[in-house]
């Protein structure tokens, strides 16, 4: 996993003070990283339009123009002039070389956005909005310097943003790159070093980006084993019984040794899934909430008060009874609307979904600070998993999963790992990665996934 930071100005300052690096050195490495990407991926003589703002993000772009000049057909566009000392210095250097400074957007093969970067802290004015809209219309490969212009420091987009094919971010990953709003704009993300390797540039963080290697699958390497070795999951099926059945199938396919569905009515289950009317004596994990609908409160209280590892989903996020489970090790898997309901129930915040989506990291952090034992998996374009002070980002999510039943599969995957003895955090991380990676491996049309397809893909991981 990789570290993510809320801001990197303090990391830049540390480079100046501890390693005797200068602002000029850091900027030279920033521009060199973009130049190397262009040189390694495009033929000589391609036209490169570099659009620069007034500050140091613009200065990075002006330095990039100098590094590409003569090998590429460089067009430098500085619509608002320059203000920062570094931008003025870089402009002096390109003027001495004789780089072509253009007065308007022109056709190009590559366009590099160096307008605002990660320092944007206010809404774009009409002129900047129009400029970015016109850049997005260009039939060109689009590169963003540090962060696509129009995305704020918390990842919010209030008007428009540059639609990058790749974002080359400087020094370290920033939290603003991983908001749900930003996902359609950042493209591929690469990190440039700024004169020292990332291990030296970065300090401690409580935010982490998950890699595929962080997924720990429940492979069976013990030969002296039987079905009980891999646990017994109980899934509580409610009035919408299909949700519980989907979760049960997913858990079984992800390694649970035994799976029983708790339901007081006889239901049609696959031959390998059992039915029971109460918690099994040898139960090692519980899944409850998905499709629950109407329920007997006392019965749910008994289930939630048990010390058995539990995943809670869906309908229970609207009910006070869930408060009984927040002082122990459980996994919660709400989507944004459900999380807003949970925030209200717990007295943390009374907000709507748009407000949550503007700053998902903030509200997740507030919840996890109040309930440090709980693992909360917040669904979205980027999945956020929080426990206590730490937040983990799964950026592998895709629109393939925007189908009914996908969340029930996720609940089943988490439950299946809890059943086999994974900690709540490890179960949430590995199940979430399996869920999203399996969806990305699905080869048919991206609108056609059904829950059983997703379970089949998980089996192939």
pLDDT digits (tens, 9 = 90+) for 409-419: 999 999 999 99
Shared domain for 50 and 178, answered yes or no, is yes
What DSSP letter does each residue of 203-266 carry, written as one string?
A: ---SEEE--GGG--------SS--GGGG-EEEEE--SSHHHHHHHHHHHHHTT-SEEEEE-SS-
Distance separating alpha carbons of residues 127 and 130, to the nearest angstrom = 5
Shared domain for 286 and 379, answered yes or no, is yes
Shared domain for 121 and 245, answered yes or no, is no
- Give the residue ranges of the annotated binding site for K(+): 57, 113, 149
Residue 57 belongs to a domain with what CATH number?
A: 3.40.50.10260
At 292 the pLDDT is 86
Residues in a beta bridge with 404: none
Task: Say if strands 274-276 and 101-102 run parallel, antiparallel, or are unpaired.
Answer: unpaired
Q: Which residues of the chain have pLDDT under 70?
A: 119, 294
At 119 the pLDDT is 65
Shared domain for 267 and 379, answered yes or no, is yes
Distance separating alpha carbons of residues 275 and 183, to the nearest angstrom = 42
Shared domain for 221 and 195, answered yes or no, is no
- Give the residue ranges of the annotated binding site for (6S)-NADPHX: 56-60, 117-123, 146, 243, 291, 335, 408
Structurally, how many domains does the chain consist of? 2
User: Which of 203, 223, 249 is the endpoint of a domain?
Assistant: 203
Residue 412: give the domain boundaries.
Answer: 213-459
Shared domain for 127 and 230, answered yes or no, is no
Shared domain for 36 and 173, answered yes or no, is yes
Q: What is residue 375's DSSP assignment?
A: E
Shared domain for 437 and 370, answered yes or no, is yes
Tokens representing 153 are: 């420091």
Q: Cα–Cα distances in Å, from 382 out to 1, 38, 185, 455?
A: 15, 28, 13, 20
**Burial of 319 by CB count in 10 Å (0-12 exposed, 13-18 middle, 19+ buried)?**
middle
Q: Which of 318, 261, 259 is nearest to 294 (CA)?
A: 318
Shared domain for 153 and 68, answered yes or no, is yes
Longest dimension (CA), the chain: 83
pTM for this entry: 0.94
Domain presence at residue 234:
yes
The angle at the Cα of 143, spanning 138 to 147, to the nearest 5 degrees, equals: 120
Shared domain for 281 and 408, answered yes or no, is yes
Domain presence at residue 127:
yes
Shared domain for 446 and 341, answered yes or no, is yes
- Give the residue ranges of the annotated binding site for AMP: 407
User: Which of 203, 228, 261 is the endpoint of a domain?
Assistant: 203
- Give the residue ranges of the annotated binding site: 56-60, 113, 117-123, 146, 149, 243, 291, 335, 407-408
């Amino acid at each position: 996993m990789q570290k993510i930071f809320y801001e990197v100005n303090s990391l830049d300052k540390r480079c100046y003070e501890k390693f005797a690096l200068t602002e000029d050195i850091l900027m030279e490495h920033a521009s060199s990283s973009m130049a190397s990407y262009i040189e390694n991926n495009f033929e000589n003589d391609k036209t490169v339009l570099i659009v620069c703002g007034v500050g140091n993000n613009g200065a990075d772009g002006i330095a990039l123009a100098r590094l590409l000049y003569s090998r590429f057909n460089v067009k430098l566009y500085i619509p608002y002039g320059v203000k920062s000392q570094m931008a003025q210095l870089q402009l002096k250097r390109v003027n001495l070389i004789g780089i072509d400074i253009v007065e308007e957007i022109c056709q190009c093969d590559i366009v590099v956005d160096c307008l605002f970067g990660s320092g944007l802290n206010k809404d774009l004015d009409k002129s900047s909005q129009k400029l970015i809209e016109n850049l997005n219309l260009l039939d060109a490969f689009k590169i963003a310097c540090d962060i696509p212009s129009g995305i704020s420091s918390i990842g919010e987009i209030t008007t428009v943003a540059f639609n990058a094919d790749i974002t080359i971010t400087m020094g370290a990953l920033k939290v603003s790159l991983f908001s749900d709003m930003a996902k359609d704009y950042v493209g591929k993300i690469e990190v440039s070093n700024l004169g020292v390797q990332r291990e030296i540039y970065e300090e401690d963080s409580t935010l982490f980006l998950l890699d595929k290697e962080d997924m720990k699958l429940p492979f069976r390497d013990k030969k002296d084993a039987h079905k009980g070795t891999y646990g017994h999951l109980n899934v509580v099926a409610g009035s919408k019984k299909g949700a519980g059945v989907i979760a049960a199938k997913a858990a079984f396919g992800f390694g649970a040794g035994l799976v029983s569905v708790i339901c007081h009515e006889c239901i049609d289950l696959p031959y390998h899934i059992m039915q029971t009317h109460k918690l099994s004596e040898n139960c090692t994990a519980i899944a409850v909430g998905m499709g629950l609908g109407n329920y007997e409160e006392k019965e749910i209280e008994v289930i939630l008060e048990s010390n058995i590892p539990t995943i809670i989903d869906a309908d229970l996020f609207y009910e006070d009874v869930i408060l009984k489970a927040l002082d122990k090790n459980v996994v919660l898997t709400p989507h944004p609307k459900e999380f807003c309901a949970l925030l209200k129930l717990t007295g943390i915040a009374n907000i709507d979904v748009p407000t949550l989506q503007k700053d998902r990291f903030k509200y997740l952090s507030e919840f996890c600070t109040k309930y440090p034992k709980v693992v909360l998996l917040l669904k979205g374009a980027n999945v956020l998993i929080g426990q206590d002070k730490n937040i983990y980002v799964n950026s592998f999510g895709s629109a393939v999963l925007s189908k009914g039943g996908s969340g029930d599969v996720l609940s089943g995957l988490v439950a299946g790992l809890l059943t086999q003895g994974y900690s709540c955090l490890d179960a949430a991380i590995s199940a979430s990665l399996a869920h999203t990676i399996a969806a990305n491996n699905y080869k048919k049309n991206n609108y056609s996934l059904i829950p059983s397809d997703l379970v089949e893909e998980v089996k192939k991981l």
